[in-house]
Amino acid sequence: MKNLEVSLPCPQGEVLVPPSKSISHRAVICASLAQGNSVLQNVAFSDDISATILGMRAFGANIRYLGNYMDDKANDISVEGIKPENIPENLVIDCKESGSTLRFLIPVALLFGSHVTFTGSGRLFSRPLDVYYDIFEKQGIHYQLGEDGLSLTVLGKLKADIFEIPGNVSSQFISGLLFALPCLEGDSEIIIKSPLESRSYIDLTLEVLSKFGIKIKNQNYERFLINGSQSYKPADYIVEGDFSQAAFWLAAGVLGGDVTCLNLNINSKQPDKYIIDIIKKIGAKPIIGSSFIRAKACRTVGSVIDASQCPDLVPIVAVLGALSSGTTQITNAERLRLKESDRLKAMSSELGQLGAKIRELPDGLIIEGRDMLEGGVVYSWNDHRIAMALAISSVRCKMPVIIKGSDAVNKSYPGFWKDFVKLGGQIDEFFFRS
């Protein structure tokens, strides 16, 4: 675990935003399910994406690098799809700490009828899987949790059916089913029993599926009609830049600098594009082009932010709230308690350590803004978004911020600290005596 002393007093410059993690997961899965060869451009091998790639390789997809592999930069990859007849009978897939990998690949595993054991680390298996357990019970699919609570074994085949899913659970369950159901012999239907949260993630799934030849009828996010016996088609696909990562740099610019984020699709369906609306709402006037966004320092004011459709933005929005005048309230964020960490508790605790006036609610945060925070020692909670948000808080801290567990960023953004320095950040490795 690395501990870094960081400071970013006046961020200036351009950042090439890394590829979207959400889209990369989806593109790798779709290309792997296609019969033939696909080329995926602009893929970065964060820990989460590496887990999905290794998972699809375990099923038999031939995934290789095109050109020189660079661990913290974008790469192009070739994907030759799975041949069902070559899938091993017994598989072990290490999902690391990636909830997307686990929830996406469980239905994929049930296409083939193999004995598949999913393993992981951290809080992965403390995150709910009840939606799938209910399906297993209904369809007679065997499943078993490991005695250590860090594995799940499944055996059986998914059958076409009507699937009723609550709208307030992770959209990853719905996406996982959307990957698998088109490949079944019969037609299926997904019924959403309550208003669907994080619907933009479903939009992403549907968009990538369509690029690989899969058609699904979306009836106002209340029903999804899936014809069976469809076949994935190979495709060449360029992954766009990640708005959830750009959000950290845009916040840095707003808090005290001048930062331009490159490699962004302003017409993207990514839910975290909402960061543009948020910074406008609190007083920023970003300059927006077709492939870039520039954010400059300005006076910001607190606001009410509904996180139901953009939960991943909450850590950095909390930082913005802590350094805006007036009160910021973040609402409809209860699901953040089930991420890599309890993100509401983590941000309340660690921003409080830095001197913020912040109060934790059951489903959100209330923050009384200050002009400056103090700085000091904080912990990442082994959560990439917590680590990055705390790093950005150093833009307006009187003293440096010492982040314990700073290498948590590798989960989604291995090049984060390089970009931090590129914008003028100062970093020193810090050793604690036991």
pLDDT digits (tens, 9 = 90+) for 178-205: 999 999 999 999 999 999 988 999 999 9
**25 and 9, same domain (yes or no):** no
116 inside domain? yes
The structural domain count of the chain equals 2
Rounded to whole angstroms, the Cα distance separating 228 from 205 reads: 17
Alpha-carbon separation of residue 390 from 195, 346, 352 (angstroms) = 32, 10, 11
**329 and 411, same domain (yes or no):** yes
What average pLDDT does the segment 18-30 reach? 97
Rounded to whole angstroms, the Cα distance separating 164 from 310 reads: 23
158 inside domain? yes
Taking only the tens place, the pLDDT of each residue in 81-97 is 999 888 988 999 999 99
pLDDT at 69: 66
Residues with Cβ within 8 Å of residue 434, at least 6 apart in sequence:
none
Which of the residues 272, 312, 383, 407 is marked catalytic?
312
Give the domain CATH number at 82: 3.65.10.10
Split at pLDDT 50, 70, 90, the class of 46 is: very high
235 inside domain? no
Q: Count H helices, E strands: the chain? A: 12, 24
pLDDT at 71: 67
236 inside domain? no
**422 and 327, same domain (yes or no):** yes
What average pLDDT does the segment 252-275 reach? 96
394 inside domain? yes
375 inside domain? yes
- Residue whose entry in the numeric block shows the structure tokens 């369809």: 139
**183 and 90, same domain (yes or no):** yes
pLDDT at 149: 84
**413 and 269, same domain (yes or no):** yes
Taking only the tens place, the pLDDT of each residue in 95-141 is 999 999 999 999 999 999 899 999 999 889 988 999 999 999 999 99
Which pTM value belongs to this model?
Answer: 0.94
What average pLDDT does the segment 362-375 reach? 97
Kind plus residue range of the DSSP H or E element containing 5 = strand 3-7
pLDDT at 148: 84
**14 and 41, same domain (yes or no):** no
**36 and 12, same domain (yes or no):** no
End-to-end CA separation in angstroms for the chain: 14
Percent of the chain predicted with pLDDT > 70: 98
Cβ proximity of 301 and 90 under 8 Å: no
**281 and 174, same domain (yes or no):** no
231 inside domain? no
What average pLDDT does the segment 308-313 reach? 93
Residues with Cβ within 8 Å of residue 134, at least 6 apart in sequence:
none
Q: Which of 198, 224, 250 is the last residue of a domain?
A: 224
Give the number of other CB atoms < 10 A from CB of residue 242.
Answer: 26
What average pLDDT does the segment 30-52 reach? 96
Q: Which of 169, 192, 224 is the last residue of a domain?
A: 224
Give the number of other CB atoms < 10 A from CB of residue 35.
Answer: 13
Rounded to whole angstroms, the Cα distance separating 109 from 404 reads: 37
434 inside domain? no
**103 and 156, same domain (yes or no):** yes
332 φ/ψ sector (left φ>0, alpha ψ -120 to 50, else beta): left
pLDDT at 86: 87
**303 and 403, same domain (yes or no):** yes
**326 and 373, same domain (yes or no):** yes
Q: Is the pLDDT of residue 70 over 70?
A: no
Split at pLDDT 50, 70, 90, the class of 147 is: confident
Angle, helix 343-353 to helix 384-393, in steps of 10 degrees: 30
312 included as an active-site residue: yes
Q: Is the pLDDT of residue 434 over 50?
A: no
**302 and 373, same domain (yes or no):** yes
For residue 379, the enclosing domain spans 3-18+241-429
